[in-house]
């Protein structure tokens, strides 16, 4: 990987984005958000079939770099609406599976980016939560939505109002993230999962992601699944998967 503050590399069908300001715990400035946005656009144009997002140097991201920021004069609403939120949203709706590998702090933007991924694997001793009460601010970057959806408004309120940070182990127990593993095993496990996903029927995953993001009621979900199943079975991987099942062999998915 390069020495850019946010870099992108491809390992076969897996794209890896690394947040790379380890001396600042991978805190993010507008230039890092612009880099991240460009990398996401490149991934959309590529043949990648899974994205793995992680940080360098034992941290995922401590959030926005506010060194030199002045809340009295900065256009904080504009920074969120025009610089940060569009990138977080782009990651959330990226039309391929996404995995976050989280160690160390995942706060602020870092928390939002981790929650925007389809799957979050975290180190046992990672730190997640909302410390914003300590500076008189609120959780942002989609954090309220993610917490309320995953752990319920009552637990979200407790973490937001107290500012208590939780370990990766507790985050997994609450259901905020998918799974916690030992820090030494995190990247190997995340890469193994990303490769496994990338070997799958990518177009079917894209359809499932679209249905999951629709947040539809039961009746509408049934309709979307019926439409999506027909769509999936028209793809090359759908044809191959069905044929492999009938022939009692392992399918060879090409992501098309």
Average pLDDT over residues 69-74: 74
pTM (2 decimals)? Answer: 0.95
Say if residues 49 and 13 touch (Cβ distance below 8 Å): yes
Which pLDDT does position 69 carry in this prediction?
A: 73
Those residues with Cβ within 8 angstroms of residue 185's Cβ, 6 or more apart along the chain or in another chain = none
Q: Which two tokens stand for residue 236?
A: 């090359």
Containing 255, the helix (H) or strand (E) segment is none
Which pLDDT does position 1 carry in this prediction?
A: 66
Say if residues 178 and 202 touch (Cβ distance below 8 Å): no
Beta pairing, strands 166-167 & 127-128: antiparallel
Which pLDDT does position 72 carry in this prediction?
A: 72
Q: Which two tokens stand for residue 21?
A: 């300001």
Q: Could you give the CA distance from residue 247 to residue 226 in angstroms, rounded to a whole number?
A: 25
Centre a 10 Å sphere on the Cβ of residue 61 and count the other Cβ atoms it contains: 29
pLDDT in tens, 203-243: 999 999 999 999 999 999 999 999 999 999 999 999 999 89
When the pLDDT of each residue in the chain is averaged and rounded to a whole number, the result is 95
DSSP characters over 92-127: HT-SS-EEEEE-SEE-THHHHHHHHSSEEEEETT-E
pLDDT in tens, 187-203: 999 999 999 999 999 99
User: Which residue segments constitute the domains of the chain, with CATH numbers given?
Assistant: 6-198 (3.90.226.10), 202-246 (no CATH)
């Amino acid at each position: 990987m390069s020495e850019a503050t946010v870099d992108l590399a491809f390992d076969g069908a897996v794209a890896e984005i690394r947040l790379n300001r380890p001396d600042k715990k991978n805190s993010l400035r507008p230039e890092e958000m612009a880099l991240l946005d460009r990398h996401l656009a490149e991934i959309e144009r590529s043949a990648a079939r899974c994205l793995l997002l992680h940080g360098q140097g034992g941290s995922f991201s401590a959030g926005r770099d506010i060194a030199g920021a002045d809340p009295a004069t900065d256009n904080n609403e504009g920074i969120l609406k025009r610089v940060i939120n569009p990138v977080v949203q782009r990651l959330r709706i990226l039309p391929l599976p996404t995995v976050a590998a989280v160690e160390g702090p995942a706060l602020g933007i870092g928390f939002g980016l981790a929650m925007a991924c389809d799957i979050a694997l975290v180190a046992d001793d990672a730190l997640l939560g909302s410390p914003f009460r300590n500076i008189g601010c609120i959780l942002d970057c989609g954090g309220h939505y993610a917490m309320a959806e995953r752990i319920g408004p009552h637990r979200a309120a407790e973490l937001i109002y107290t500012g208590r940070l939780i370990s990766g182990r507790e985050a997994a127990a609450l259901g905020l993230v998918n799974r916690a593993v030992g820090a030494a095993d995190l990247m190997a496990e995340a890469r193994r999962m990303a490769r496994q996903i990338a070997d799958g029927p990518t177009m079917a995953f894209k359809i499932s992601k679209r249905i999951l993001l629709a947040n539809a009621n039961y009746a509408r979900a049934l309709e979307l699944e019926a439409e999506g199943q027909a769509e999936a079975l028209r793809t090359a991987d759908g044809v191959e998967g069905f044929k492999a099942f009938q022939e009692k062999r392992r399918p060879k998915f090409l992501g098309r």
